Amino acid sequence: MLSIEVRAAFSTPAMDAAEIRRAVAPGLLRVGRGVEIIRAFLEVWPLLKSELTQRQERDREIVAISRSGFAEVSHLKVVDLLRGKLRPPEEILQRLGGMHDALSQDIKTRGDRRLSNAEGVSATFLEAVRRFGMDTLSHKNPGLQILEANGIDVSDIDENTTVGDVGTLAVFRAKLRVINQITRLPWGELKATVPARRLPSQIIQSSVDRFRPDGKEWKGSDLNDTHLSCLAAYADVTYVDKRTHEAFRMARDKIPGFTALVHRVEKAGHYSKIREQLIEPEI
């Protein structure tokens, strides 16, 4: 889905997200009999089971880490950090220790209950952060090196860009790099031509993630719900859980142009209720 949107956005730079959705929608989804899908799925299930189990565990870790405010830096201006002085290595390590304590506690109290080793998840993640950070210390400007390593150019930031903004852009650029293994478009031109705000799937996913009500438990399934939410741009009816449905409602109210990107989004207390809802006229 994303690769098709990216191709359309790249080939016609004047199109906005709503126009891209209309352009790609007719050939995006292929409809068939459910039995055909189930049969193919069952044939490959033995090969996929182990991989999917590992991904589920990883999803739980990603959700817990991304929802935690352990670092308390997302609001900081990037230009201030680039102009500031580098902390001594021992102070950096002390700071990482405090982050570990905060992240571990968040995972224990708010993370998916199936995450059994909060300390281990936190330690593994922050050790990767430590190694990456220490590798940049030999560079003249470690801050610029960090930006470059995450696919961010100095031209991508201004006086008001925050660390949180850079994180969001870095995640999108990583997606774009993966997609470009398929599209094979010139990377520099692709970055400049196709921002996330022109892609229906990315607008929907980011909006759902932003407005989903914060439950007591950060469930790993939230990540899949966010990924699948972009189907609402192309399917006639998309069924979601209660919290995702509320996120869609809020996004319609607060994001200009969001309503033009999505079709009907519904929730149901049980699968058995879906058929009844589908045959009822939409109000």
Does any domain span residue 117? yes
Residue 151 gets the label, from left (phi > 0), alpha (psi -120 to 50) or beta, of left
Mean of the pLDDT values across residues 265-279? Answer: 84
Give the rounded distance of the alpha carbon of 139 from its chain centre: 30
Q: Which residue has the tokens 């409602």?
A: 249
pLDDT interval class at 283 (50, 70, 90): low
The pLDDT, as a whole number, for residue 187 is: 94
Q: Reduced to 3 states, what is the DSSP secondary structure of residue 217? A: coil
Does any domain span residue 236? no
The pLDDT, as a whole number, for residue 281 is: 62
Mean of the pLDDT values across residues 36-56? Answer: 82
Does any domain span residue 36? yes
The pLDDT, as a whole number, for residue 132 is: 86
The pLDDT, as a whole number, for residue 282 is: 58
Does any domain span residue 23? no
Q: Which two tokens stand for residue 47?
A: 């090969």
**pLDDT tens by residue, 59-96:** 999 999 999 989 888 999 999 888 877 788 788 889 99
The pLDDT, as a whole number, for residue 248 is: 97
In the predicted structure, residue 244 carries a pLDDT above the cut 90:
yes
Q: What is the pTM of this model?
A: 0.86
Does any domain span residue 120? yes
Does any domain span residue 201? no
Does any domain span residue 217? no
Mean of the pLDDT values across residues 27-56? Answer: 82
Mean of the pLDDT values across residues 99-126? Answer: 95
> What backbone phi and psi angles, to 5 degrees, belong to 241?
-80, 175
In the predicted structure, residue 214 carries a pLDDT above the cut 70:
yes
The pLDDT, as a whole number, for residue 122 is: 96
Structural domain span for residue 137:
32-194
Q: How many separate domains does the chain show? A: 1
Comparing 153-157, 230-234, 276-280, the range with the smallest average pLDDT is 276-280
Does any domain span residue 4? no
In whole angstroms, what is the distance from residue 123 CA to residue 98 CA? 11
